[in-house]
């Protein structure tokens, strides 16, 4: 027993994966994280795991599934609260490592630690509330004619082990300890995370926090693992492994659709909840520009350049009507962009993809509108805006693809019909934003446009900017493809737990066989057609 590896006594990056609560050294090659500020490598080396370790983690998750889903709500909620405690206790180590691995500022990472812990506390509250069980009951009608009706009850149960693929741009809140992991654990699903190699040290520290919390609260072994390895090997093996019942993913459209294809080709296909690509159109009315052209331009450029534009809700597309007001607005944008300086991007490959994306827009016919200054270091390209017309935009699908970073396309349209055609050419989006006044002309315009925006995006915003996702009950962070793989879901907010649940009906079961949740009078339910809340 003394030879069984254990987690370090204090949080420290060791370069090892964690399988069922135990650190594991991989032997399928090595990897070091790189500081994007200057390209220097960070220690220690991470040993990549292979097929045997992936199989071991997935099987451990499946073996503990029934035990974990049987854990009562209060104990499961206490586990989630304990994860938040552990994350907050290691804030100094997380901030130091994450800033080095991502180039993001200390204040941003400090806030992200708080948000990540807050997500776990939010789902702990949701578990205690109990609405996620989805209880329904229709009583027996033995005297009904022409045929009696049986007693039928319904609840939702967890799907099974979930494979989670973290994002590059949020090393905590959308990664190892992100919303996909938190919501899957809240649903009663064990989780196996594919750790992101760009911020492997941060991922390991977050994994240690979850593993410690699981041990501290007596959760079954296998409830959580985090693996470091080749994306093509570990990712595809997880997606095809028979023990995995669902996938949560945040990343590129290419990687997301590859996972979708693998999951669909399995003998028993599984759902993939992937957040992938969005350019988040912003529509600015002439009256909004007339009221404050400089303020509108400053707000847009501030949102565009925030975090080097590396937000999934980055406003990468602006529509403006061809008027004298638009000329003034474009001039204000040019001045604001020209005075901005590039910030370090997350990785050299992301910076390279940014350059390629800008060239793609140029190749499709967009022209340079404004360009700022490049920042220090190899991965801090200059922010920029490009310009095109709505008729061209509608015909050039190359213009509809995301450029991840501080670059945006400004589209000038002649009239509302041309705007509608351009919007119809777009794929699904996470957000759509209206910058408008409350004058009757703008309100009438918004009423006409709202049905199209509802079809287009998962979140519609008025007079705020899309870079800012509240972790609350009512948030939707999703949208039609390619924003996500399933427009019926969200990856942020308590509704996210429903991705990892399915309904089961119990017809004519004796009371002694019914799951215990049906006997709990404190749980909300639908009883014979009426909503009942304790």
In a domain, 477, yes or no: no
Q: Which 8-state DSSP code applies to residue 221?
A: T
Provide the pLDDT for residue 336: 98
Question: Within this chain, do residues 192 and 306 fall inside the same structural domain, yes or no?
Answer: no
In a domain, 521, yes or no: no
Question: Within this chain, do residues 189 and 307 fall inside the same structural domain, yes or no?
Answer: no
Provide the pLDDT for residue 534: 78
Question: Within this chain, do residues 80 and 216 fall inside the same structural domain, yes or no?
Answer: yes
Q: Which is nearest to 42 in space by CA: 31, 52, 50, 51? A: 31
In a domain, 437, yes or no: yes
User: Cis omega (within 30 of 0) on the bond before 251?
Assistant: no
Q: What's the pLDDT band for 1 if we cut at 50, 70, 90?
A: very low
Question: Within this chain, do residues 256 and 304 fall inside the same structural domain, yes or no?
Answer: no
In a domain, 206, yes or no: yes
Question: Within this chain, do residues 155 and 298 fall inside the same structural domain, yes or no?
Answer: no
Question: Within this chain, do residues 248 and 337 fall inside the same structural domain, yes or no?
Answer: no
Q: Are 275 and 311 within 8 A, CB to CB? A: no
Provide the pLDDT for residue 90: 97
Question: Within this chain, do residues 189 and 308 fall inside the same structural domain, yes or no?
Answer: no
pLDDT digits (tens, 9 = 90+) for 139-194: 999 999 999 999 999 999 999 999 999 899 999 999 999 999 999 999 999 999 99
Question: Within this chain, do residues 157 and 298 fall inside the same structural domain, yes or no?
Answer: no
| CA end-to-end span of the chain | 48
pLDDT digits (tens, 9 = 90+) for 64-73: 999 999 999 9
Q: Which is nearest to 400 in space by CA: 367, 357, 459, 441? A: 357
Domain count, the chain: 2
Provide the pLDDT for residue 6: 84
183 to 58, 67, 76, 410, 429: CA distances (angstroms):
18, 18, 12, 37, 22
In a domain, 10, yes or no: no
Catalytic residues: 275, 312
Provide the pLDDT for residue 3: 60
249: three-class secondary structure by DSSP: strand
Provide the pLDDT for residue 376: 94
What pTM was estimated for this model as a whole? Answer: 0.96
Question: Within this chain, do residues 420 and 307 fall inside the same structural domain, yes or no?
Answer: yes
In a domain, 76, yes or no: yes
In a domain, 342, yes or no: yes
CATH number of the domain that residue 374 is part of: 3.40.309.10
CATH number of the domain that residue 265 is part of: 3.40.605.10
Q: Are 337 and 298 within 8 A, CB to CB? A: no
Residue ranges making up the domain that contains 361 = 281-462
pLDDT digits (tens, 9 = 90+) for 364-415: 999 999 999 999 999 999 999 999 999 999 999 999 999 999 999 999 999 9
Q: What's the pLDDT band for 86 if we cut at 50, 70, 90?
A: very high
* Span 457-483, average pLDDT: 96
Question: Within this chain, do residues 267 and 315 fall inside the same structural domain, yes or no?
Answer: no
Question: Within this chain, do residues 352 and 252 fall inside the same structural domain, yes or no?
Answer: no
Q: Is the pLDDT of residue 280 over 60?
A: yes
In a domain, 457, yes or no: yes
Q: Is the pLDDT of residue 520 over 50?
A: yes
Question: Within this chain, do residues 270 and 339 fall inside the same structural domain, yes or no?
Answer: no
């Amino acid at each position: 027993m003394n030879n069984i590896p254990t987690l370090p006594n204090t949080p420290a990056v060791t370069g090892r994966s964690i399988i069922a609560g135990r650190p594991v050294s991989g032997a399928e090659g090595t990897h070091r994280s790189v500081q994007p500020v200057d390209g220097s490598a960070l220690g220690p080396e991470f040993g990549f795991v292979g097929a045997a370790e992936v199989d071991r983690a997935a099987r451990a998750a499946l073996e503990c599934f029934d035990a974990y889903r049987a854990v009562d709500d209060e104990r499961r909620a206490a586990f989630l609260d304990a994860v938040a405690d552990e994350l907050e206790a290691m804030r100094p180590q997380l901030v130091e490592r994450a800033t080095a691995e991502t180039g993001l500022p200390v204040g941003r990472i400090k806030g992200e630690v708080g948000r990540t812990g807050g997500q776990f506390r939010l789902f702990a509250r949701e578990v205690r509330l109990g609405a996620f069980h989805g209880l329904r009951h229709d009583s027996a009608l033995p005297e009904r004619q022409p045929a009696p009706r049986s007693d039928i009850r319904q609840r939702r149960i967890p799907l099974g082990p979930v494979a989670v693929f973290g994002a590059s741009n949020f090393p905590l809140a959308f990664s190892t300890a992100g919303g996909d992991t938190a919501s899957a654990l809240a649903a009663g699903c064990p989780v196996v995370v594919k750790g992101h190699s760009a911020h492997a040290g941060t991922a390991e520290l977050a994994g240690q926090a979850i593993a410690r919390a699981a041990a501290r609260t007596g959760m079954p072994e296998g409830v959580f693992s985090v693996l470091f390895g080749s994306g093509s090997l570990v990712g595809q093996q997880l997606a095809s492994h028979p023990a995995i019942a669902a996938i949560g993913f945040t990343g590129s459209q290419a990687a997301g659709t590859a996972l979708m294809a693998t999951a669909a080709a399995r003998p028993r296909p599984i759902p993939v909840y992937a957040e992938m690509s969005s350019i988040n159109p912003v529509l600015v009315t002439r009256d909004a520009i007339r009221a404050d052209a400089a303020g509108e331009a400053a707000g847009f450029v501030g949102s565009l350049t925030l975090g080097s534009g590396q937000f999934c809700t980055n406003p990468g597309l602006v529509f403006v009507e061809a008027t004298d007001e638009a000329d003034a607005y474009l001039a204000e944008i040019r001045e604001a962009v020209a005075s901005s300086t590039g910030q370090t991007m997350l990785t050299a490959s992301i910076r390279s993809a940014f350059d390629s994306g800008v060239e793609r827009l140029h190749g499709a016919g967009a022209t340079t509108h404004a360009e700022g200054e490049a920042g220090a270091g190899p991965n801090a390209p200059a922010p920029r805006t490009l310009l095109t017309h709505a008729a061209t935009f509608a015909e050039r699908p190359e213009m509809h693809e995301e450029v991840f970073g501080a670059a945006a396309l400004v589209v000038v349209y002649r009239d509302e019909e041309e705007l509608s055609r351009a919007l119809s050419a777009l794929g699904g989006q996470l957000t759509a934003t209206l910058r408008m006044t409350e004058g009757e002309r703008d309100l009438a315009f918004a009423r006409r446009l709202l049905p199209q925006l509802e079809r287009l995006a998962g979140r519609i915003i008025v007079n705020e900017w899309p870079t800012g996702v509240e972790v609350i009950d009512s948030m939707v962070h999703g949208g039609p493809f390619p924003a996500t793989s399933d427009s019926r879901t969200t990856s942020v907010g308590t509704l996210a737990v429903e991705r990892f649940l399915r309904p089961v009906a119990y017809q004519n079961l004796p009371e002694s066989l019914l799951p215990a949740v049906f006997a709990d009078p404190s749980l909300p339910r639908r009883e014979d057609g009426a909503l009942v809340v304790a």
